Chains A and B, each alone.
Chain A
Amino acid sequence: MIEWFSWLQIGVAVMAGVVCVVVGLLGRKPSDLVLGALALVEVLLVAQLVVSIVAPTVGNSPVGDPLEFYVYLVSAILLPLVAGFWALIERTRWSTVIVGVICLAVAVMVFRMNVIWLAPTA
């Protein structure tokens, strides 16, 4: 994991999450903006997966438990797919809120992954 990249990713996910929750509560159905933000979050997660596979080969290995790290990463990658699928089949404002909630959850998970990679407490 590259620390600045993780923070960038957390920032994007938090912003996407807040925007989608607010826009959703205002009554907006899932729009291209909402799905675009979700897609960006997902693309960054896939990039994170590539970084995480390559990093140990160039001497940047996780300090914490790699199993725990990958459970978080794989779960995080699956969540936006579920949210996107939901937003496409059910076009109500609550789907927009759900996309936002999923983005916020991804932000928390990337934060945890960052802690596991850099300096685990337990």
Chain B
Amino acid sequence: MQEPTSSLRRPRISGIGRVLVVVYGILALGATGRSFVQVVGRFGEAPVAYSLSALAAVVYIVATIALIAPGPVWYRVAWVTITFELVGVLTVGTLSLTHPDLFSHPSVWSDFGIGYLFIPLVLPVLGMIWLRRRRGLAS
């Protein structure tokens, strides 16, 4: 998979990568929709948890865009956002099991994303594998 320099601005996605982007898009939509409901409907109940939900939703949106957009800058953005997601799901997932009182309100990352079929846990790993395979485009 050697890419010539001239293909630097080619979109990073092709083939199965597009499926990854679509799943990212669905998760971004789901997280955005849910946090919209939480923030509009009952923000006062758990401002911290719901702010975190909103932040997670924004990061998923940025990650989705970064996976689609060409160029080395977006490549780096993709790495940063996907790393943030993995750290987030691992941290919040662990804390929600050891300190359930901190996360009594469900968020996208509670219990390692069980409410989203563990997709938030699996997706960053698949995203990183994908980015590593495509790193020729960014160097």
- Partner-B contacts on A (CB < 8 A): 65, 67-68, 71-72, 75, 79, 83, 86, 90, 92, 94-95, 97-98, 101-102, 105, 108-109, 122
Contact B37 A102 (CB under 8 A): no
Total A-B Cβ pairs within 8 A: 43
Which bracket fits the contact residues of B?
Answer: 10 to 19
Contact A79 B26 (CB under 8 A): yes
Contacts of A71 in B (CB 8 A): 33-34, 36-37
Contact A68 B19 (CB under 8 A): no
Evaluate whether A94 and B16 lie within 8 angstroms (CB atoms) in the complex, with A71-B36, A75-B33 already known. yes
**Nearest CB of chain A from residue B18's CB, rounded to whole Å:** 5
Please tell me if B15 contacts chain A, counting CB pairs below 8 Å: yes
Report B15-36 residues with CB < 8 Å from chain A CB.
15-16, 18-19, 22-23, 26, 29-30, 33-34, 36
Contacts of B40 in A (CB 8 A): 67
Contact A108 B33 (CB under 8 A): no
Residue from B26, B34, B41 with most neighbouring chain A CB atoms (10 Å):
B26
Contact B19 A65 (CB under 8 A): no
Contact B19 A122 (CB under 8 A): no
Contact B37 A67 (CB under 8 A): yes
A95 to B19, CA, bound (A): 8
The one of A68, A92, A102, A122 in contact with B22, judged by C-beta atoms closer than 8 angstroms, is A102
Contacts of B30 in A (CB 8 A): 75, 109
The 5 closest A-B pairs by CB, nearest first: A71-B33, A68-B37, A105-B26, A98-B22, A94-B18
Contacts of B23 in A (CB 8 A): 101
Nearest A residue to B23 via CB reads: A101
A90 to B21, CA, bound (A): 15
The one of A67, A83, A94, A109 in contact with B41, judged by C-beta atoms closer than 8 angstroms, is A67
Contact A122 B117 (CB under 8 A): no
Nearest B residue to A98 via CB reads: B22
Evaluate whether A65 and B16 lie within 8 angstroms (CB atoms) in the complex, with A75-B29, A101-B22 already known. no
**Nearest CB of chain A from residue B113's CB, rounded to whole Å:** 13
* A-B contact sample (6 more), CB < 8 A, given A83-B22, A86-B22, A122-B105: A65-B41, A67-B41, A71-B37, A72-B33, A79-B26, A102-B26
Please tell me if B71 contacts chain A, counting CB pairs below 8 Å: no
Contacts of A94 in B (CB 8 A): 15-16, 18-19
Contacts of B34 in A (CB 8 A): 68, 71
**Nearest CB of chain A from residue B124's CB, rounded to whole Å:** 17
